[in-house]
Amino acid sequence: MKFHNRSSLTVQSNAFSPGPDAGECVLAGRSFARSMYVAPRQLGTLPRLSRRKSGATGAPLCSSARSDQQKYLSQTCFGAAHLAYTSSADPVGLRSLDVTILQAFAKGLTHSRPNLRVIWQYINAARSKPAPGPASIAADGTSKPEVANHYSTPAEYSRTATATDIFQCFRLLLGRHPNPEEWPGHSSRVGEDLENVVRSFLTSREFAARGLLDETYRAAVEVTNLPGFSLIVSKEDLATGHHVLHGHPFDPGVAAVLRRYVKPGMSVVDIGANIGCLTMLLASLVGPTGRVLAVEPNPENVKLLEASRRLNGFDQVIVLPVAAGRDTGVLALNVSFSNGMTGELPGNVAGVLGSRPVPCFALDLVLPKDRSVDVVKLDAEGAEFNALIGMTSTIDRDRPVIVSEFSPTTMPGISHCSGPDYLGFLIAKGYQLGVVERDGSERVFGDDIAGVMTAYSRSGIDHIDILARPMTVRGGSRGVL
């Protein structure tokens, strides 16, 4: 994303994902009470029922009634705890229940059904849950909860499935909450290998029927007019097009830097051109005597890029529908709307057949030798180092200004380098470093790698943009551009 603009039944962390709403809780509570032969107002007396053979009215509990009791047990207790501790409204008076009653209820149930231990953990966690944050007002006038700017990463990643993981698979992959009838079976997979659990949801007919992987976005496009050019965007592209249509500037800091450094007649390489927001800006800056090479591997983006190029009559733009990498070959493309990243193809035949392959070129083999490159813009979702390795000869020969996205958390998995390694590569090539602010201004760090890393850490977001200026220019003269 380039725009700077919970309560499941969590039992092993302090994050809460959406549980039943008030109405669902009331219905579940009444069903539970009927199966136990008690009235809803007697909910506080239920802990004893897990150790008794008769209900509150003295009527014996038959086997079918006990089955019904277990059938609704999990949903009701989770719903009661959720409503009592996370809802601002309490239409059925569940908040009046003392926490010790709910604790005793859950503790008693775990004796008869071990997989309900999660209830006990959930209620304990609920006691320490902070009060809900303030609400903000959405564009349509409705209130929406505040979203935390930071996420506390657990100390260790668990490869075994938890009840929360399984619940979220329903919510995120199937688009719904689990039904009471199916939850006991699915929740019994707690402790299994997490990948196997997720795979079972991804390969289900219900997930396939949602069509989430059928296309990145549809061809519902609009033309938006920006200063100096027009842009064709998809209304259903939630990553970029949606924001552009609503008047949000795309990478305003980078755009300001490009306006400062790019002049008429220059040659620019735009690596990771996306749908062309900055490509069209560059084309307007270099003019008809300049040249812009737009490198973009996502076929859906290429359609929009080429369409915008033709709409504007920008003959100075050449769209290259490939990925930029260290070597010439084939990579796997993974996309989320117009955003996407490339990586190595899977090592097995089945994985290759199920991938989305795209061609990859080392740009030294593509760029003309008779025309120098003045500016390079890089936004390759972690593949920036790979792209620069593939154009090392061009960098050494032409000494272009480099404007690059910098995401140290993404680079190791894509470019197999750390953030400091990437910065060190640029410094070794004779570049001084600066950090681009949102308004386009620059904080100069020179060769201070630690300073750039500190600026990234303090940004609080997943990436920053850096400006690398050559200490030597073409012809060998000294000085910073």
pLDDT, one tens digit for every residue, the chain (481 residues): 444 443 333 333 333 334 444 444 444 444 444 443 333 444 444 433 333 333 434 444 444 444 444 444 544 554 554 444 444 444 444 445 455 555 555 555 444 444 445 544 554 554 455 544 444 444 455 555 555 555 566 778 899 999 999 999 999 999 999 998 899 899 999 999 999 999 999 999 999 888 887 665 555 889 999 999 999 999 888 889 888 998 998 999 999 999 999 999 999 999 999 999 999 999 999 999 999 999 999 999 999 999 999 999 999 999 999 999 999 999 999 987 788 889 999 989 988 898 999 999 999 999 999 999 999 999 999 999 999 999 999 999 999 999 999 999 999 999 999 999 999 999 999 999 999 999 999 999 999 999 999 999 999 999 999 999 999 766 554 344 3
d(CA 102, CA 92): 15
DSSP-derived 3-state class of residue 33 = helix
Specify whether the CB–CB gap between 86 and 73 falls below 8 A.
Answer: no
Q: Where are the alpha helices (DSSP H) in 211-348?
A: 241-245, 252-261, 277-286, 299-312
DSSP-derived 3-state class of residue 229 = strand
Centroid of chain to Cα 449: 27
> What angle (nearest 5°) sits at the alpha carbon of residue 211, between those of residues 207 and 217?
140
d(CA 399, CA 288): 23
Helix (H) or strand (E) holding 471: none
Contacts of 244 (CB under 8 A, 6+ apart): 224, 231, 233, 250, 277
Specify whether the backbone of 216 is left (phi greater than 0), alpha (psi in -120 to 50) or beta: alpha
Check residue 215 and give its pLDDT.
Answer: 60
Question: Which amino acid, residue 327?
Answer: D
Classified by CATH at the fold level, domain 234-470 comes out as: Rossmann fold (3.40.50)
Where do the CATH 3.40.50.150 domains begin and end in the chain? 234-470
Specify whether the CB–CB gap between 108 and 50 falls below 8 A.
Answer: yes
Check residue 361 and give its pLDDT.
Answer: 96
| Cβ neighbour number for residue 362 with a 10 Å cutoff | 21
- C-alpha closest to that of 391 among 419, 434, 425: 425
Check residue 216 and give its pLDDT.
Answer: 54
pTM, to two decimals? 0.60
